[in-house]
Every structure is written in structure tokens, then in C-alpha cells.
Chain A
Amino acid sequence: GAGVSQSPRYKVAKRGQDVALRCDPISGHVSLFWYQQALGQGPEFLTYFQNEAQLDKSGLPSDRFFAERPEGSVSTLKIQRTQQEDSAVYLCASSNQGLSSYEQYFGPGTRLTVT
């Protein structure tokens, strides 16, 4: 079956521009997570949705970062007024409910480069 998909795969933005990153989770997966991965580091949590509700946004690094999942499926991570330190790979993961609800499956990621 189809896995998690993300678009665009690569994004180059000039400093100060706004960007929007899209995530389409595995069909039927209730939980959706966004992570940020810097080079040579493990992924770091940004935010979590259960259906359309954003239940945890404690990892968002600043108020320039905003995420939504209005219909409980596709999610968008928006970064306003991008800065060079925002350059990273943004990963989306989804998980199901039930016995395997702790297992998270990642999409291919969006590599953001801010110049």
C-alpha cells in the first residue's frame, strides 16, 4: 500500500520567504507527526496531530512555524519569514491506533535550503 508522501521533496527559499510543506499520511492513520532533522542529527519532534486536533506543538522552534491538518488527513507545515537556521530536512510520520499505535512510519522528507 501507499506510504507517507511529502511534497515538495526539495525546496530552496530566499531568506525572508514563506514556505509550505505538505504531508499525506498513510490512509486511515489517525496520528501525524512533524520532525526536523539537521545534518548528522536524529530527527527532532516539532508537532503532533490526532485527526484534525493539534495536541502537541511544544517542539515548534518559534512562532514563525505553524502547522495544520484541517480535515484530519493531509497536513501542512508552514514556515514564515524563513531564516538560514531553518535549513533542514522536514520529516512527516504517521501512526495508527491500536496495538501498533506507537510505531511511526516516515515519509521521504522535504529538504529545505534557505539561502
Chain B
Amino acid sequence: QKEVEQNSGPLSVPEGAIASLNCTYSDRVSQSFFWYRQYSGKSPELIMSIYSNGDKEDGRFTAQLNKASQYVSLLIRDSQPSDSATYLCAVNTNQAGTALIFGKGTTLSVSS
């Protein structure tokens, strides 16, 4: 059974702080990793993808991947109230057309 685990939260951070979201996965053949943001009542929006060990930065977002530990994280710097949402971690194998396996998501609340 392929599993993706996330702390459901809520994770509460003050405006301007760094938010750290974590995800672990069980299937060692997983090769592609994604973070989606989902606002309440909306559909998931892709914000980061990462395929290699290490860090990948895009604006205020940094994704970190450690395949040996089967761990992927998302850091949000200078958190804004507009970042308040549920963040979904998703993984799949490196085959086009493979279904994404999602975690249940972590709810982030950024207070002003």
C-alpha cells in the first residue's frame, strides 16, 4: 500500500514567519514529488515540483527532497495571510501517466 503522510495541522504561523510543511512517503520507487495548494472550496493548484535530492527554490517557496529518508518538505518564507490554505503533498513514479498519490494535506493558517 503506497502511502503519503502529512501532519493535518492546523499549522499556525504569524505573518512574516517561515512555515515548514512536511511529508513522508512509503514507496521507495517514488521519483516525482509535488506540492499543491488548495484554498477552501477550490481545486488543487500546483506550486512546486521536485525530482532530485536537495533544495529547489521558487520565489518564497523552497521544496526539499531527501529520498534516502523518504521525506519531502515545503518551506514558505515571509508567510502572508493569503498563504492560508491546505497544502497537499503528492508523489508518483517516473512514468508518464502514473496516478498521483496524495497525502491528506496540512492546513496552514497565517495570522496578521
Across-interface contacts of A40 in B (CB, < 8 A): 104
- State whether A102 touches B45 (Cβ < 8 A): no
Asked if A42 CB lies within 8 Å of chain B CBs, one says yes
Contact partner of B49 among A55, A93, A103, CB < 8 A? A103
Asked if B59 CB lies within 8 Å of chain A CBs, one says no
CB within 8 Å for A103 and B97 given contacts A42-B88, A42-B103, A42-B105: no
Asked if A80 CB lies within 8 Å of chain B CBs, one says no
- State whether A102 touches B99 (Cβ < 8 A): no
Across-interface contacts of B42 in A (CB, < 8 A): 108
Residue of A nearest to B107 (CB): A40
Contact partner of A48 among B45, B94, B97, B105, CB < 8 A? B97
CB within 8 Å for A106 and B44 given contacts A41-B104, A42-B105: yes
Asked if B73 CB lies within 8 Å of chain A CBs, one says no
List the interface of chain B (C-beta within 8 A of A). Answer: 4, 32, 34, 36, 42-46, 49, 51, 88, 90, 92, 94, 96-105
Q: A31-B96, A33-B99, A48-B99 are in contact. List 20 more A-B contacts (CB 8 A).
A: A31-B97, A33-B100, A35-B100, A42-B4, A42-B103, A43-B44, A43-B88, A45-B101, A56-B97, A59-B99, A89-B43, A91-B43, A91-B44, A93-B100, A102-B49, A102-B96, A102-B98, A104-B34, A104-B46, A106-B36
List the interface of chain A (C-beta within 8 A of B). Answer: 31, 33, 35, 40-45, 48, 50, 55-56, 59, 89, 91, 93, 95, 97, 101-109
